[in-house]
Structure 1
Amino acid sequence: MKKALQHHHTTRTLPFWKNLLCAFVAVLIVLLPPVHLAKANILDTFGDFGVKDEVELGKKFSVLVKSKMPIIEDPEVTSYVSGVLDRLKENMPPQPFPFEINVLVDNTLNAFAVPGGYVFVNTGMLLELEHEAELAGVLAHELAHVTQRHIAKRIEQSQKVQLMSLVGMLAGAVLGATTNSGSEISSGLITGSMAASQAALLNYSRDDEREADHMGLIYLTDAGYNPIGLATSFAKIRRRKWESGSNMPAYMSTHPAVEERQDYLADRVASLPQEIQNRPDDDTRFKRVQVLVRAQYTDPNLALAYFAKQKKTPLVLMGQGIAASRVNKVKQAAAYFDEALKGDPKDYLILREAGKFHYTKGDTTKAITLLQKAAVKNPEDLMTLFFYARLLNDKGDSKSAATYYQKILKTLPEDSEVHFFYGKMLGQSGDEFSGHLHLAYSALYRNDKKKTAYHIKKAEALATNQKQTSAIELIKKQRDERAAYWK
């Protein structure tokens, strides 16, 4: 806080790029529910703006988003989008930082990336596209904005831009943007790190967009996808705008070059060898993830209405089962799951979701049979292991359950639900310190300020050695990072 006050009194002497970063944080206040700038002063962090600073800026942006928006932790979804990203990265030049992708539960058609390799895609985008190649096209464009350092270069080149001008332009770019739920968030994000461009008012030039389209198409093609995916993703987003009149990134609805970009992308694809243009789409896993996201993370009644119009495949029946269970139509849900299992008794995802359903409804015998089968079919599915761990604990085998919880947390360290049940189990078994520690993490990742403080205080009172004291210091550090953005 002392350093923040010092910066407040010396603003006029700061480098202009630091003023730009300050403007970036100011706009995030507009984009997301209110945060306190004084608590999140990022000027203390940066020296000369370079790759290290990009990473730090991206990390702070990621923490802010996670402190305000629900993130999907289901490994079926997260591993899928990570796999698409990894496939694109394989043929990219080496990058100075790793990339991280998260899926936000939000109906708007947004995807965006920020410096440092942090990528976000909304559930609305996942559900609107028709092919994996289109999703890959969106992400390829995103990656191109990051790899070409468009935002970083604009920060470096902004030395002659006055801070108040930047703030005014930023506010003009994003004010009035709302999600379906009414909470403020950027709609200036389009399928490409146009997110960060509009969000930070580092408006990308036409040259930036052309370069991102050019490089994105290269990344998409080199990854083995049908290259038309980038152009058709643009077309689908524009079509959605005319159909609904909403849920549309402002950039896509107003920028005069969108049609031109679609045309030249189509022309470039037409110039490629025929075997590349004719690459088949493999949308098997993409469609599975779409069913799961629609059933689990959208309005359950709307999901049921959607599935009712689809061909009754085992996967669609599973989706109906998930959505029906969410509105407590237990008998209907059970019937849907039974029919799905009858249609494909070997699909681990159907086995997993049916097992989850029967567990939550109290039929542990049926649940354990289904979950065991799911684990055999896919031993790496962490959601299956999570519910299996809960079953083991219910049966008194907390030692085996702990092994599964620990394995899950190595891959999903920010899953609040896993921390919650693991913490409860530890507390019940007598390890009160660890129990409160994991319950504190659970509350932290749910952005529950009061419960986080409560369980940290309880754990701190129980700490008896240096290892436990260090664990308290670590969670306090993580708490402080998020608390800077809590109300």
Structure 2
Amino acid sequence: MRISRAAIAGMILLASTSAVAGPAGAAGDSDGDYNLPDLGQPADTAMTPTEEKRLGAQVVAQLRSQNQIIEDPELSEYLNSVGRRLASHTDRPAKDFHFYVIDTDEINAFALPGGYIGVNSGLITATKSESELASVMAHEIAHVTQRHIARQMVESRGDTIATLATAIVAAIAGAQAGGGGDAATAAILGGMSHLGMQQLSYTRANEFEADRVGIRDLARSGYDPHAMARFFGTLERQSDLYGQQPPQILLSHPVTSTRIAEANARAADYPNVKVHTNPEYPYMRARARILEAQSADDVRDYFRGKLQGDHPIPADNYGYALALSRLSQDKHAIALMQAGLKAHPDILAWHMGLADVLARAGDNARADTILSAALKQFPHSGALKLRYAQNLEDENKPAAMRNYLLSQPDVLDTYPAAQQLLARGAGQQNNLGEAYYRQARYFAMLDDYPQAINQLRTALQTAKLSAYDRSRLRALRDQMVTACHRAWSQAQCRRGVAQGNDY
């Protein structure tokens, strides 16, 4: 049987929906008790939880290196809040899941081994409610909790983690480019050809199981359980408009009238759900549109059209202001953000949006005032804390920035950019030992251990260091080498690290 490139890409996107969870960079964790259902020996034989974490982390690292992940703390914080809400109602720890915004307007989402879940920015903008967004994420989370990839990969024991990671990244990239592509096909046929027919035969069972479990978790989390069927039904009805290129989500998650009807029937089992909606949702949908836009002029025209339409909403003004700011129309952008903040003081997006346009206009002092006040109102937002620290750097206050970040360990542990801020601040203060230390921590948080090791080796070989700094950097280098071997493999690490006596 001949399988089309689109079908192969779809199968691999499904194959990347799976498995067990683990936080990025936690390479030294043991398998632990994941409270998994007993799915039988084949899944564990094919891929252990540790291998799943390693594979997922490598895919994310490659996606990052190719700039396919939108590194926006505000949007990321929101997406992870939805994901954690859903994950907290599964049988797995919510902290084991990690959610990333993928930089493409294609309407799709996918789950990777180890609990790493990618949500395309195009999917966020295509949804009409937070429940619809949550429904797709719940479906992907279900692929993870049911360990679909491990159950499909009994025959893959000859493949290395690196081969599988490269194949999945190529498949994702090929699908984003339009339904397969030569890169995806070559990687899949070269490294995973023996999985093709087996994965195809699992598709229907996996999708229905993910629907069933996802709808249950939607209801448990306080989201509309009918949202999944509604969203997929809307996409199916609109697919005629796409001609021969329907949304990627319909290729990787085939939808039929039977499947939609069954999803609605399952949702009917949860009739009294009090639906939760985060008021930040429409603002984050607008922000996703801004961040994915290739043209500031086009996205400005989009929001201007929305504001001139029949049903404008406050988030359209927010998006319009951000677009104007990117076109250096500062006065108008600031006025819109100020009006929005006055009308909606309980929405964090207006606070951070106003600070953003003020900073872009060069008024960091006023941005500091806005952010300082917002910190009192929203003390638990890590994205806000990071933005405040970034503004301190922009104000050329490296000492104040350092003192603030060191008082916020949650930010340092969550955002790689915080470590990079400390590195730059230390460099400005001519503290080379601290600068190299923080830059190495930055790369480690991206699971790029070879880069972290190279930073430390360079520092130890060339920098003028105090005895304390030299001892500290040596200890971190040894930790990074151990973490690299566990997260990747000794051979991969040796290839990635510049060779030398210190390795």
Change (3 A) 1:368 1:109: same
CA RMSD between the two structures: 4.5
2:282 maps to which of 264, 284, 287 = 287
Partner residue, 1:304 = 300
CA distance in 1, matches of 2:443, 2:277: 39
CA distance in 2, matches of 1:285, 1:214: 28
CA distance in 1, matches of 2:431, 2:407: 19
Amino acid at match of 1:306: Y
Deviation of 1:57 after TM superposition, in Å, equals 2.6
CA distance in 1, matches of 2:173, 2:91: 37
Amino acid at match of 2:135: G
Partner residue, 1:137 = 135
Change (3 A) 1:88 1:207: same
Question: Cα deviations across residues 50-84 of structure 1 (Å, max 9, x unaligned)?
Answer: 33332333233332333324433434322322222
Deviation of 1:402 after TM superposition, in Å, equals 0.7
Partner residue, 1:41 = none
Contact 1:186 1:199 in 2 (8 A): no
Partner residue, 2:341 = 341
Q: What SS class does the counterpart of residue 119 from structure 1 fall into?
A: strand
Q: What SS class does the counterpart of residue 306 from structure 2 fall into?
A: coil
Q: What SS class does the counterpart of residue 379 from structure 1 fall into?
A: coil
Q: What SS class does the counterpart of residue 424 from structure 1 fall into?
A: helix
1:67 maps to which of 57, 65, 68 = 65
Partner residue, 2:31 = none
Partner residue, 1:216 = 214
Change (3 A) 1:433 1:239: farther
CA distance in 2, matches of 1:153, 1:144: 14
CA distance in 2, matches of 1:179, 1:185: 10
Farther off after superposition, 216-225 or 438-447: 438-447
Q: What SS class does the counterpart of residue 175 from structure 2 fall into?
A: coil
CA distance in 1, matches of 2:180, 2:158: 36
1:202 maps to which of 199, 202, 214 = 199
CA distance in 2, matches of 1:171, 1:389: 33
Partner residue, 1:57 = 55
Partner residue, 1:7 = none
TM-score (norm 1): 0.72
Question: Is 1:471 paired with 2:471?
Answer: no
Partner residue, 1:6 = none
Question: Cα deviations across residues 269-323 of structure 1 (Å, max 9, x unaligned)?
Answer: 34x36434xx546252321211222233423333212211334655432322211
Q: What SS class does the counterpart of residue 349 from structure 1 fall into?
A: helix
Contact 1:443 1:449 in 2 (8 A): yes
Number of matched pairs: 428
Change (3 A) 1:138 1:47: closer
Deviation of 1:387 after TM superposition, in Å, equals 4.0
Q: What SS class does the counterpart of residue 225 from structure 2 fall into?
A: coil
Contact 1:177 1:184 in 2 (8 A): no
Change (3 A) 1:459 1:254: closer
Contact 1:97 1:117 in 2 (8 A): no
Contact 1:441 1:475 in 2 (8 A): no
CA distance in 2, matches of 1:246, 1:107: 17
Q: What SS class does the counterpart of residue 234 from structure 2 fall into?
A: helix
Deviation of 1:391 after TM superposition, in Å, equals 4.4
Deviation of 1:417 after TM superposition, in Å, equals 4.4
Change (3 A) 1:320 1:142: same
Amino acid at match of 1:303: V
Contact 1:314 1:341 in 2 (8 A): no
Contact 2:283 2:319 in 1 (8 A): no
CA distance in 1, matches of 2:442, 2:229: 41
Change (3 A) 1:125 1:201: farther
Farther off after superposition, 81-90 or 103-112: 81-90
CA distance in 1, matches of 2:372, 2:327: 27
Change (3 A) 1:256 1:453: closer
CA distance in 2, matches of 1:457, 1:200: 46
**Mind listing any 5+ residue stretches in structure 1 that lack a counterpart?**
1-22, 32-45, 188-197
Deviation of 1:336 after TM superposition, in Å, equals 2.5
Change (3 A) 1:410 1:73: farther
Question: Cα deviations across residues 392-412 of structure 1 (Å, max 9, x unaligned)?
Answer: 456665433113334567436
Change (3 A) 1:448 1:209: closer
**Mind listing any 5+ residue stretches in structure 2 that lack a counterpart?**
1-7, 17-43, 186-194, 498-503
Question: Cα deviations across residues 137-177 of structure 1 (Å, max 9, x unaligned)?
Answer: 1122112222222221122267899xxxx9xx999988963
Partner residue, 2:20 = none
Change (3 A) 1:224 1:339: closer
Amino acid at match of 2:210: A
1:114 maps to which of 112, 115, 120 = 112
Deviation of 1:248 after TM superposition, in Å, equals 4.2
Deviation of 1:330 after TM superposition, in Å, equals 2.6
CA distance in 2, matches of 1:173, 1:365: 46
Deviation of 1:419 after TM superposition, in Å, equals 3.8
- Matches for 1:220-235 after TM superposition, within 5 Å: 220-235=218-233
CA distance in 2, matches of 1:349, 1:256: 35
Amino acid at match of 2:280: R
Question: Is 1:275 paired with 2:272?
Answer: yes
Question: Is 1:364 paired with 2:359?
Answer: no
Partner residue, 2:422 = 422
Contact 1:137 1:229 in 2 (8 A): yes
CA distance in 1, matches of 2:169, 2:92: 35
- Matches for 1:375-390 after TM superposition, within 5 Å: 375-390=375-390
Partner residue, 1:78 = 76
Contact 1:69 1:104 in 2 (8 A): no
Percent identity reads: 24
Farther off after superposition, 432-441 or 174-183: 174-183
Change (3 A) 1:126 1:457: same
Deviation of 1:215 after TM superposition, in Å, equals 1.6
Contact 1:97 1:116 in 2 (8 A): no
Question: Cα deviations across residues 468-487 of structure 1 (Å, max 9, x unaligned)?
Answer: 1133455677889698799x
Change (3 A) 1:242 1:65: same
